[in-house]
A and B are shown apart, each in its own frame.
Chain A
Amino acid sequence: MSNALRSLQKRLPSLALTTSLLLLAGLTAACEELHPRDAYQHPAADASEVSAWFYNLYLVLDSIIFFGVLAAFFIAIVKFRKKPGDNALPEQSFGDSRLEIAWTIVPTLVVLGITVPTLGGLFELAKRPDMNQKIIDIDVTGKQWWWELDYKKEGINTGNEMHVEVGTQVMLHLTSADVIHAWWVPRLSGKRDATPGRNYPLNFKPKEVGSFDGQCAELCGASHALMGIRIIVHPKDGPDSYENWVTRMKQAAAKPTTPQQEAGQKVFMNKGCVACHTINGLSELAPGARSRTSGPNLTHVGSRDYIAAHTLKNSPDSIATWVKNPQAVKPGALMSNLGLTDQEASDVAGFLTSLK
């Protein structure tokens, strides 16, 4: 037993090396994986570019310091071991004032050198954008566990999927209806808390067309993990332009056209969904009836990529699963389980999917 242990002890450093190599291989494999939310390699807005620039700066600086310290450390370990039989004491040095002063001053200069641009970047990010340009203003309210998006100027109220325009300044006004949430879509901007009773701005100007995912970044209860965000950046013109999206969204909800959709609308109106959800042109919550537990506006829910805040891909099946038992999809979800039958669930799913 003890012999086996002792020979294992001898082989430990080489085992350590092997494991490190395996780890490195694993991490290289991880780099092959797609990283659709990497802010530093693929920043897609001015705000995230600032963060990425600082990341690269600090990465270079930190690497120089770390590998410098590591080199000094390993040289010491290799060079200054006690040789067998050498029992003389090493030189008893208590330190060196000049060295102490040097290695206090050098880090001080490094810290100063890096803090000055840092503060510059900080004030750059906090700067109020030029108000004479076109600005998309969106009031964002974090709710357990979804995001209410209110385009006041355009008169659009929607949830979870934010639509903006490439090259146009976006100003978010973040608040919360319940606990603290944090808005974070890495490739577009850093995060900002959505705090109840407060209203914080978050500005960015997207530079790329596409869909960008993110999620709540502040622990906000049971389904914190399922409070996703998608920002869709539209081109300036063409059929898929931001303006076209706005026009589409301002229209009232589509009327049911098939018997199933009509049955689904009846379920929506009679089984309790209307108590919390608005569908423009069908049933709108009176301002007094809106509370922190009211659900998202469903006028165009069929056009969303996901439902339940980026939890399920939007399809009739997933809507049926969701409405039948919301808590099974999202623990603690505030949407009531209305006890719908399978038929009712698939009818209402058919109806909601038709609301493009």
Chain B
Amino acid sequence: MASIADFAAAQKPIYHQERPSKTGLLDWLTTVDHKKIGILYGGAGLFWLLIGGLEALLFRIQLARPDQHIFVGDTFNGLVTMHATTMVFLAVMPMIAGFSNYFVPLMIGARDVAFPRMNAFSWWTFFAGSLTINASLLFCGAFPAAGWTGYAPLTTRDFSGMPIDFWWAGLTLLAVSSMVAGVNFVVTILNLRAPGMTLMRVPVLAWMMLVIQFLLAFSFPPVAVGLILLAFDRTFGTVFYATNMGGDPHLWQHLFWLFGHPEVYVLILPSMGIVSEILPVFTRRPLFGHHAVIFSGVFIGFVGFGVWGHHMFTAGMGPIADAAFASTTAIVAIPTGVKIFNWIGTMYNSKMTFPTAMLFAISFIPMFTLGGLSGMMHASPPLDLQQHDTYFVVAHFHYVLVGGALQGLFAGFYFYLPKITGKLMNETLGKIHFWVFLIGFNVTFFPMHMLGNHGMPRRIYTYPADAGWNTENLIATSGVFLMTFATLVFVYNLLTSLKKGKDAGSDPWDANTLEWMTTSPPPVHNFDFTPVVLSERPLWDHKYTPGFEIPVPEKAEEIHMPSPSWKPMWVSGSAGLIIVGLLTFNGVFGIPGWPLCIAGALGIIFSVYAWVTEPV
């Protein structure tokens, strides 16, 4: 029988060009290697996950008992706002970007993404955005406090201060980063697939990444427009959202949720992809209904653009619009159900093993199902009028985003990290992480369903003792400590595995897809030779299906790998300069900031020129 040892015999490829090499920090600053950028994204995501978790811990302490005065008013609102902003934009999205960067080219048998320098530009712009949002704590001593949804007119100059400027500025940079990344990865997945890899042979995770890149490319423009209008209102005194001058606060809500709902699917689809990759490996069966799983993901992506109004049932859009959005939202249940049934179908008649990656992947199924079912309730306007903006909704989206998205990403870490580091993570610590996290998560969020039913609105910093919310709040807060402990165990496990972990080898899980045929970690050029794909499970069939072996060419391939470049960072830096100029537009200490905008614009022109004329 064939095995992956066959690939070791392949000739190393010959580089066309002399590749200028940099070492140490310079290497990381100028890298255009999708794997290094993936690590940067993933590391940043983990860092912000801890910060976002800390913010949650702080405001849950405030809510543990009624009438407490630890974090009050806008301090509390700032923690809530930054918890959500951080978790969505700075933790989960970069972790997804990390997986997408590192593994999509490997899964489709490519040597890099289609536009490696644009990829570096996305990363540096993300980096600038993440710092900008949080810089408000440094410069204003306060966090933006209008909620992550930033409903106008609370975000206009009449009702909020400077922190909101940092908020729109940072988010605008993140929007640019995501749009560029979206285009880059759509082109990569559609054009750089290995020979023989038809669209239906693209692994499910890469498919889900393709779907979300479309969502990113098309859903970020509306919110970017909304943020720029807000910037104009705040900086230049326009009145897009000022009602007393004929502006309309609903404009913001529509622009925001036209982005916001596809964004939810951006967060969940990659985890569905990860689960769809992990289940077949540890059940040792193909994914049941592989095509149905892919098509339902695509369908979710499409419908995702037509459901945003369900966030606005209480806003007064009128019964006709409400009815339309209620119906489209209900439709989402169908493809979601199909996915869940297919995952369970994969588990039947299988021979399952349960390493930590598998535990997280399967516990995704019931937790996400619960979140999906409470979501069906919100799709019903007569019911949503009660549940909107209550703790019931908080419970719902945490079941989807923590029980779903985050557990999927944890599964992904245990499963894929050995490919990145070459070392396995500790299974015992992994199982402690899993169980404590699963329990802590349910202890935290299940009682929130009840809080919502008992009439507790979200984003309130205190509550009276006689409202009947005391016990559940105390239970919920105690769960946060379990989740915190579990996450620290995970980080400890990850860090110690880098040095002490057992060697993973190329294919520790006996897996199905191309990324496992190369070494761990993969060489700069990913594969010594371009694999020819003959089936949905190329590596599995190579190992187990006679006649489907991946052929190893005798001649060395001649390849061209992109050179490191400073230019992406220059463009990001110039964009950042424009943002700083806008933040200080009307002057700080009497010095106007607008010259910075001009400098930034000139900087962009100059660095883009240098970029396009730079030899690669």
Q: A: which residues have CB within 8 A of B?
A: 2, 5-6, 8-9, 12-13, 15-16, 19-20, 23, 26-27, 29-30, 33-40, 48, 50-51, 54-55, 58, 62, 65-66, 69-70, 72-73, 76-77, 80-83, 86, 89-96, 99-100, 103-104, 107-108, 110-111, 114-115, 118-119, 121-126, 144, 178-180, 182, 184, 186, 189-193, 195-198, 200, 213-226, 310, 331-332
Pick the residue among A65, A86, A93, A219 that contacts B77 (CB under 8 A): A219
Whether the Cβ atoms of B316 and A5 lie closer than 8 Å is no
Q: Is there a chain A Cβ closer than 8 Å to B524's Cβ?
A: no
Interface flag for B46 (CB, 8 Å) = no
CA distance A301 to B206 in the complex (A): 64
Query: Beta-carbon contacts of B437-453 to A below 8 Å, as 1s and 0s?
Result: 01100110011001001
Is B285 a contact partner of A90 (Cβ separation < 8 A)? yes
B374 and A195 within 8 A (CB): no
Taking the closest CB of chain B, its distance from the CB of A327, in whole angstroms, is: 9
Contacts of B314 in A (CB 8 A): 182, 190-193, 217
Known: A58-B380, A62-B377. 10 other contacts (CB 8 A): A8-B428, A9-B431, A48-B386, A66-B370, A82-B284, A94-B289, A126-B319, A179-B151, A197-B243, A224-B77
CA distance A39 to B454 in the complex (A): 7
Q: Decide: B389 and A218 in contact? CB cutoff 8 A.
A: yes
Residues of B within 8 A of A178 (CB): 153, 158-159
Could you tell me the dominant secondary structure of chain B's interface residues? Answer: helix
| Nearest opposing residue in chain A for B351, CB measure | A82
| Cross-chain contact B455 with A122 (CB below 8 angstroms) | no
Contact between B351 and A191, CB atoms less than 8 A apart: no
Inter-chain CA distance A35–B455, complex, in Å, is 8
Within 8 Å CB of A9, what residues of B?
428, 431-432
Scoring B250, B442, B467 by chain A CB atoms within 10 A of each residue's CB, the highest score goes to B467
- Whole-angstrom distance between the Cβ of B33 and the nearest chain A Cβ: 35
Q: Does B388 contact A (CB under 8 A)?
A: yes
A219 pairs with B327, CB closer than 8 A? no
* A66 touching B147, Cβ below 8 Å: no
Q: Which residues of B contact A72 (CB under 8 A)?
A: 344
A-B contact pairs, 18 of them (CB 8 A): A8-B428, A9-B432, A26-B475, A37-B456, A38-B455, A51-B383, A69-B369, A77-B362, A80-B352, A96-B345, A114-B376, A118-B326, A122-B322, A189-B385, A190-B388, A219-B146, A222-B77, A331-B72
C-alpha spacing A9/B366, complex, angstroms: 22
Counting chain B residues whose Cβ lies within 8 A of the other chain, the interface size class is 35 or more
Q: Is the CB of A80 within 8 A of B435?
A: no
- Contact in complex: A104, B338 (CB < 8 Å): yes
Asked if A198 and B316 sit within 8 Å, CB to CB, the answer is yes
Residues of A contacting B26 in the complex (Cβ-Cβ under 8 angstroms): none
Counting chain A CB atoms within 10 Å of each CB, the highest count among B243, B384, B386, B432 belongs to B386
Q: Contact check, A76 vs B347: say whether CB atoms are below 8 A apart.
A: yes
Query: Is residue B413 within 8 Å, beta carbon to beta carbon, of the partner chain?
Result: no
Which A residues touch B385, using CB under 8 A? 51, 125, 189-192
Inter-chain contact A115/B471, CB cutoff 8 Å: no
Q: Which residues of B contact A95 (CB under 8 A)?
A: 286, 288-292, 342, 345
Contact partners of A35 in chain B: CB under 8 A: 454-455, 468
| A90 in contact with B347 (CB, 8 Å) | no
Residues of A within 8 A of B337 (CB): 103, 107
Question: Which residues from A are CB-within-8-Å of B383?
Answer: 51, 54-55, 58
In the bound complex, what is the Cα–Cα distance between A136 and B231 (angstroms)?
A: 43
Asked if B334 is an interface residue, CB under 8 A from chain A, the answer is yes
Of the listed stretches B260-268, B457-465, B554-562, B580-588, chain A binds B457-465
A216: chain B residues at CB < 8 Å are 457
For B319, the chain A residues whose CB sits under 8 A away are: 122-123, 126
A230 to B89, CA, bound (A): 38
- Lowest 4 CB-CB distances: which A-B pairs, in order? A190-B385, A331-B73, A37-B455, A197-B243
In the assembled complex, which residues on chain B have CB atoms less than 8 Å from the CB atom of A122? 319, 322-323, 326, 380-382
The answer to whether residues A219 and B154 also contact, given A23-B475, A29-B471, A30-B471 and a CB cut-off of 8 A, is: yes
Taking CB atoms and an 8 Å cut-off, the chain B residues in 161-220 that contact chain A are: none
Question: Given the complex, which residues of B lie within 8 Å of A12, measured CB to CB?
Answer: 431-432, 435
A13, A40, A54, A222: the one contacting B73 at CB < 8 Å is A222
Q: How far is the CA of A38 from the CA of B467 in the complex (A)?
A: 10
Q: In the complex the two chains form, what is the Cα distance from A62 to B379 in whole Å? A: 13
Q: Which residue on A lies nearest to B447, using beta carbons?
A: A27
C-alpha spacing A149/B466, complex, angstroms: 25
B348 at the interface (CB under 8 A from A): yes
Contact residues in B for A179 (Cβ distance below 8 Å): 151, 153-154, 159
Task: Indicate whether B3 reaches chain A with its CB closer than 8 angstroms.
Answer: no
Q: Let me know if A186 and B455 touch, CB within 8 A.
A: yes
- A119-B288 contact, Cβ under 8 Å, with A30-B447, A331-B72: no
B429 in contact (CB, < 8 A): yes
**When A and B form their complex, what is the total count of cross-chain residue pairs whose Cβ atoms lie within 8 Å?**
319
Q: Give 1 or 0 for each of B559-578: 1 = CB within 8 Å of chain A CB.
A: 00000000000000000000
In the complex the two chains form, is A331's CB within 8 Å of B322's CB? no
Contacting pair A69 B366 (CB below 8 A): yes
Given A54-B380, A331-B74: A27 and B457 interface contact (C-beta under 8 Å): no
Q: By the criterion CB–CB under 8 Å, are A118 and B428 in contact? A: no
Interfacial chain A residues near B381, Cβ < 8 Å: 118, 121-122, 125
The answer to whether B461 touches A225 (Cβ under 8 A) is yes
Decide: B429 and A191 in contact? CB cutoff 8 A. Answer: no
Nearest CB of chain B from residue A330's CB, rounded to whole Å: 8
Asked if A38 contacts B442 (CB within 8 A), the reply is no
Q: Bound complex: CA of A347 vs CA of B214, how far in Å? A: 66
Task: Please tell me if the beta carbons of A58 and B377 are within 8 angstroms of each other in the complex.
Answer: yes
Q: Mark B367-410, 1 if CB is under 8 A from A, else 0.
A: 00110011011011111111011100000000000000000000
How far does the Cβ of A107 sit from chain B's closest Cβ, in whole Å?
Answer: 4
Does B446 lie within 8 Å of A5, measured CB to CB?
no
Question: A55 contacts which of B289, B379, B386 (Cβ < 8 Å)?
Answer: B386
Q: Which of A76, A83, A99, A214 is packed against the most chain B CB atoms within 10 Å? A: A76
Complex-state Cα separation, A55 to B392, whole angstroms:
12
User: A100-B289, A195-B315 known; A51 and B386 CB under 8 Å?
Assistant: yes
Q: Are B348 and A197 in contact (CB under 8 A)?
A: no
- Which of B286, B292, B459 is in CB contact (< 8 Å) with A219? B459
> B468 contacts which of A37, A124, A190 (Cβ < 8 Å)?
A37
Q: Judging by beta carbons under 8 Å apart, are B344 and A332 in contact?
A: no
How far apart sit A191 and B443, CA to CA, in the bound complex (Å)?
28
Cβ contact within 8 Å between A76 and B73: no
- B534 → chain A closest CB, angstroms: 15
B333 in the interface (beta carbon within 8 A): yes
The reply on B530 being an interface residue by CB < 8 A is no
Most interface-central of A20, A122, A331 (chain B CB within 10 A): A122
Q: A76-B348, A95-B290, A224-B460 are in contact. Are A218 and B428 (CB under 8 A)?
A: no
The answer to whether B468 touches A36 (Cβ under 8 A) is yes
- Contact residue among A62, A90, A191 (Cβ-Cβ distance under 8 Å from B350): A90
Q: Which of A26, A108, A123, A217 interacts with B388 by CB under 8 Å?
A: A217
Q: Please report which residues of chain B, range 235-275, place their CB below 8 angstroms from some CB of chain A when the two chains form the complex.
A: 243-244, 247-250
Measured in the bound complex, the distance between the Cα atoms of B379 and A179 in whole Å is: 26
Task: Tell me if A225 and B316 are in contact (CB < 8 A).
Answer: no
Residues A125 and B382 in contact, CB atoms below 8 Å apart:
yes
In angstroms, how far is the closest chain B Cβ from the Cβ of A43? 10
Interface flag for B349 (CB, 8 Å): yes
For residue A129, give the distance in angstroms from its CB to the closest CB of chain B.
14
CB distance from B155 to the nearest CB of A (A): 9
Assembly CA distance A186 to B387 (angstroms)? 9
Binary interface profile of B, 526-540, with partner A (CB < 8 Å = 1, else 0)? Answer: 000000000000000
A5 to chain B, nearest CB (A): 5
Whether B290 contacts A20 by the Cβ 8 Å rule is: no
Residue B225 lies at the interface, judged by CB distance under 8 Å to chain A: no
Whether B323 and A92, one on each chain, are in contact in the complex, defined by CB atoms closer than 8 angstroms, is no
- Is there an interface contact between B468 and A33, defined as CB atoms closer than 8 Å? yes
Q: Give the Cβ gap from B136 to chain A, nearest Cβ, in Å.
A: 16
A77-B362, A95-B288, A107-B337 given; A62·B352 CB < 8 A: no
Bits for B130-158, please: 1 = Cβ < 8 Å to A, else 0: 00000000000000011100010110001
